[in-house]
Amino acid sequence: MSLETTVDALFGGALSIEQPTKGHRFGIDSVMLASFPVERTPEVIIDVGCGTAVMALIAARRFNLAQIIGLEVQEVMAGLARGNVERNNLTDRVKIIHQDVRQPLPESLGDLRAGLILMNPPYFPAHQGQLSPQESRAASRHEVFGALEELLTGCRRLLARQGVLRMIYPAESMVRAVLAANKRGFKVHRLRPIHSFAHQPARFVVLDLKLGGRRELIMEPPTVIYDAVGVYNAEIEAMLAHQA
């Protein structure tokens, strides 16, 4: 049975993304993760669990000299990602690999190390809650293709010495993410709380992780997504206009 999809626009049509009609679809979290500032311009960026490659494509437009690698363990999603790279004429700089981050990269890529790794990991252990019957949605929400610590171990192998692993995680489960990162030798370098509305508690946190180091944690100003129901904050509007 063929996969039903839609083609959706980002940045006023500057990017077009084919994605499943039912299943995992990109949201503002992907846009934020790929759009927040970085301290150093990366030469290599890896999007772990890239799905339809939305973050990889945003990164390619933002860093126009960087090499972008998207890793996707689900074959169907990897196929969509490759199609999206072609659709957006970025095959010269973006490569999609049907690959589990827990496994070594193909020898053809050499000893690749990323200055920036982007990861929007599943938030729930595989045994917690009910799995979606849609494979892509299940994999985006539950750790069916590896626990968080395993994903972090894979990322550690791919990260350059001074590189940053950036991930988003529910604020209520932040301690779990920080403990898992610490076990794999990462320290939280920067933390940015994400609020749906200014008067509400943080819903997510964006964590910039580095390997070792002595630098203290930097708490970034909070990002507020909405000023009112259906009205994006100016920071988010700028991201969606690709002006961040």
Model pLDDT, residue 23: 78
- For the chain, the domains span 5-188
Q: What confidence tier does 64 reach under pLDDT thresholds 50, 70, 90?
A: very high
Measured CA to CA, the distance from residue 116 to residue 127 in angstroms comes to 31
pLDDT in tens, 24-36: 888 999 999 999 9
Q: What's residue 132's pLDDT? A: 47
pLDDT > 60? residue 234: yes
169 residue type, one letter: Y
Looking at residue 131, what is its pLDDT? 44
> How far apart are alpha carbons 107 and 124 in whole angstroms?
32
pLDDT at 144 > cutoff 70: no
Question: Which pLDDT does position 105 carry in this prediction?
Answer: 78
CATH architecture of the region 5-188: 3-Layer(aba) Sandwich (3.40)
Using the predicted structure, report yes or no on whether residue 37 has a pLDDT greater than 70. yes
CA distance 115 to 187: 16
pLDDT band at residue 109 under the 50/70/90 scheme: confident
166/104: higher pLDDT:
166
- Listed as own residue / partner, the contacts of 89-96 with beta carbons closer than 8 Å and 24 or more positions apart are 90/57, 90/60, 93/60, 93/66, 93/67, 93/68, 94/53, 94/56, 94/57, 94/60, 94/68, 94/69, 94/70, 95/67, 95/68, 95/69, 95/70, 96/50, 96/53, 96/56, 96/69, 96/70, 96/72
Q: Residue 93 pLDDT > 80, yes or no?
A: yes
Q: What is the pLDDT of residue 141?
A: 53
224: exposed, middle or buried (Cβ count in 10 Å: 0-12, 13-18, 19+): buried
Region 124-148: what's the mean pLDDT?
54
pLDDT in tens, 175-225: 999 999 999 999 999 999 999 999 999 999 999 999 976 678 999 999 999
| Res 133 pLDDT > 70 | no
